[in-house]
Amino acid sequence: MHDARKDIRDIPVDSLIGQLQAFGLPKFRCQQIFDWIWKKNVGSFDAMHNLGAPTKTLLESQFTIGKIRLETSQVSKDKTIKCGFSTFDGKTIEGVLIPTKKRMTACVSSQAGCSLSCSFCATGKLKLQKNLSAGEIIDQIVDLNRLAQEHYNIPLSNVVLMGMGEPLLNYKNVMEAMAIATSPNGLHMSPRRITLSTAGIAKMIKRLGDDGVKFNLALSLHAANDKKRSEIMEINDSNNLETLREALVYFHEKTEARITFEYILLSGFNDSMEDAAELARFARCVPCKINVIEYNPIEGGIFQKSNPEQTDQFVSFLTQKNLIVNVRRSRGKDIDAACGQLANKTKLKSPI
Ligand code: SF4
């Protein structure tokens, strides 16, 4: 029989308060329920210990809680942990925990699959299955935080929206998730420790500026000339570099935030000195830093990673131009957890 109950976490806060009060629940009860849902992230009404049985029964009869389930996980030699989650409606998504010396980062998905098809990315080979809800995005953060504490005894320090999907094509839910992640009534994280990474949807970058977001923005650039960028990222046909430049300047004017440019080095494609010069020119449009990322070959992919000498030359060129450059060595390669490799291939059959 069809279950007509709605996931309580999909109901906007204002309208949920109205609905709960219409059932005769006082305001402090609504607050308790929010705490259970968002602060304590429980998966059932029964677990809400300070609610009386009649309230629990009432909630149970009206709503569900569609938490994701950790199904599989793999630990890499470098301690990166890749998790496969299933959503309430049976879709598979992936999240990755990346421990480094200074940080404990959760890389989370915003969509199941992706509607874009960047040629260097394994997720792009999967079709878009659905936009994740705010709750499903928060669940990944909460579960990865739990694993961080269980395995490494360190809580999460950072969150990056760089897993499966294009976050700006799931704008409403992503913004809701970020609001919960940073709210004292939610996970209470500093927005400065959260980064949203986009393939480059100019209109939505401007909207982020209009919404005055406080979290960091990263643009997956990967080529600073339109011909090359369009070759690897179809989205560049409708959002070319000039449009992106304009959107980034607008975003910076509104938020005063520094932008991060992500640049995967692909051997013989975008790693020449001419490419570096184009990148340097483009990057000057806003205060920025550049993350040069080691490429992880994917099944059926046509690219190879740049060799170390080429990478060094590329990076030196940028630093000589006084740009801030970080080189991101790949993490979790042996378990396909590295950047661009997420494609629902998680192997172990049980959660750790
Ligand atoms: S890189 Fe990001 S936007 Fe491009 S296909 Fe992969 S998941 Fe989608």
Tell me the longest C-alpha to C-alpha distance in the chain: 69
Does residue 222 have a pLDDT over 90?
yes
- On whether both 91 and 184 belong to a single domain, the answer is yes
Q: Which residues pair with 107 in a beta bridge?
A: 96, 160
- On whether both 244 and 314 belong to a single domain, the answer is yes
Q: Which atom of ligand 1 is nearest to the CA of 121?
A: 6
d(CA 195, CA 199): 13
Whether 350 is covered by a domain: the verdict is: no
Cα 258 to the chain's mean position, in Å? Answer: 18
- On whether both 200 and 297 belong to a single domain, the answer is yes
- On whether both 268 and 317 belong to a single domain, the answer is yes
Query: Mind listing the pLDDT tens digit for each residue in 51-78?
Result: 999 999 999 999 999 999 999 999 999 8
- On whether both 184 and 83 belong to a single domain, the answer is yes
Ligand 1 center to 164 CA (angstroms)? 7
Whether 346 is covered by a domain: the verdict is: no
Q: Which atom of ligand 1 is nearest to the CA of 233?
A: 4
- On whether both 118 and 246 belong to a single domain, the answer is yes
The neighbour count for residue 12, using CB atoms within 10 Å, is: 11
d(CA 208, CA 200): 12
- On whether both 16 and 136 belong to a single domain, the answer is no
CATH number for the domain spanning 174: value is 3.20.20.70
The neighbour count for residue 289, using CB atoms within 10 Å, is: 14
- On whether both 147 and 17 belong to a single domain, the answer is no
How does DSSP classify residue 272?
S
Whether 343 is covered by a domain: the verdict is: no
Whether 171 is covered by a domain: the verdict is: yes
Whether 254 is covered by a domain: the verdict is: yes
Whether 351 is covered by a domain: the verdict is: no
- On whether both 135 and 264 belong to a single domain, the answer is yes
pLDDT of residue 262: 95
pLDDT of residue 350: 40
**Alpha-carbon torsion, ordered 139, 143, 146, 151, to 10 deg:** -160
pLDDT of residue 46: 96
Lowest mean pLDDT among 22-36, 185-199, 245-259, 327-341: 327-341
Q: Residue range 286-306: average pLDDT?
A: 89
If DSSP codes are grouped into helix, strand and coil, which group holds residue 28? Answer: helix
pLDDT of residue 341: 66
Ligand 1 center to 89 CA (angstroms)? 22
pLDDT of residue 347: 43
Domain count for the chain: 2
- On whether both 77 and 23 belong to a single domain, the answer is no
Does residue 332 have a pLDDT over 80?
no
CA 194 to each of CA 77, 147, 217, 318: distance values in angstroms, whole numbers, following the listed order: 26, 18, 9, 25
CB of 114 sitting under 6 A from ligand 1: yes
Half-sphere exposure at residue 4, Cβ-oriented, CA atoms within 13 angstroms: 2
- On whether both 60 and 74 belong to a single domain, the answer is no
Does residue 119 have a pLDDT over 90?
no
State pTM to two decimals. 0.92
- On whether both 40 and 73 belong to a single domain, the answer is no
**Alpha-carbon torsion, ordered 184, 138, 34, 66, to 10 deg:** 180
**Which range marks the domain in which residue 164 is found?**
69-335
Q: In testing the pocket of ligand 1, which one of 108, 116, 229 has its CB within 8 Å of the most ligand atoms?
A: 116
Q: Residue range 333-341: average pLDDT?
A: 65
CATH number for the domain spanning 31: value is 1.10.150.530
Cα 325 to the chain's mean position, in Å? Answer: 22
Pick from 85, 100, 224: nearest CA to 163: 85
Whether 342 is covered by a domain: the verdict is: no
Pick from 264, 254, 258: nearest CA to 314: 264
d(CA 119, CA 234): 9
CA 288 to each of CA 79, 101, 166, 224: distance values in angstroms, whole numbers, following the listed order: 30, 23, 21, 15
Residue nearest to atom 4 of ligand 1 (CA): 118
Query: Mind listing the pLDDT tens digit for each residue in 224-254?
Result: 999 999 999 999 999 999 999 999 999 999 9
Q: Which residues are catalytic?
A: 94, 339
Cα 175 to the chain's mean position, in Å? Answer: 11
For the range 13-20, what are the long-range contacts, defined as Cβ-Cβ under 8 Å and sequence gap of 24 or more?
A: 19/62
d(CA 58, CA 107): 36
Whether 270 is covered by a domain: the verdict is: yes
Last residue of a domain, one of 26, 48, 64: 64
pLDDT of residue 331: 72
